[in-house]
């Protein structure tokens, strides 16, 4: 199964990925999904439940960026990952 998310700007992708793609690697590891970027699209592959949780997290982050938040620190990302992994509504 897979889900496609479209970036609105190159900056969104840069912030989401983090330095040396550390953020996406962490999301892949924590949610047991595979993230691939093709141009302005991000593809998430894995089980339906894991894709939903990872997608909800990524869409939340992109929403914050689009609302004007300029940065995503590692501590912020770890906090969000924990919340989205354990939120039963995301199952």
- Each residue of 29-52: pLDDT tens digit? 999 999 999 889 999 999 999 999
Q: What is the pTM of this model?
A: 0.90
Mean pLDDT of the chain: 91
Domain locations along the chain? 2-85
CB-CB contact of 54 with 46 (8 Å): yes
Long-range residue pairs from 45-54, CB within 8 A, at least 24 positions apart, any chain: 45/1, 45/2, 46/1, 47/1, 48/1, 49/90, 49/91, 51/1, 51/2, 51/3, 52/3, 52/90, 52/91, 53/84, 53/85, 53/87, 53/90, 53/91, 54/27, 54/84
CATH 3.30.1370.10 fits 2-85, yes or no: yes
Residue 90 confidence (pLDDT): 56
């Amino acid at each position: 199964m897979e889900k496609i998310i479209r970036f609105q700007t190159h900056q969104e992708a840069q912030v989401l990925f983090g330095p040396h793609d550390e953020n996406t690697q962490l999301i892949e590891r924590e949610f047991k999904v595979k993230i691939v970027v093709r141009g302005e699209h991000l593809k998430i592959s894995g089980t339906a439940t894991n894709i939903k949780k990872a997608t909800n997290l990524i869409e939340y982050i992109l929403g914050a960026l689009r609302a004007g938040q300029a940065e995503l620190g590692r501590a912020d990302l770890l906090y969000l990952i924990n919340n989205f992994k354990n939120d039963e509504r995301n199952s």
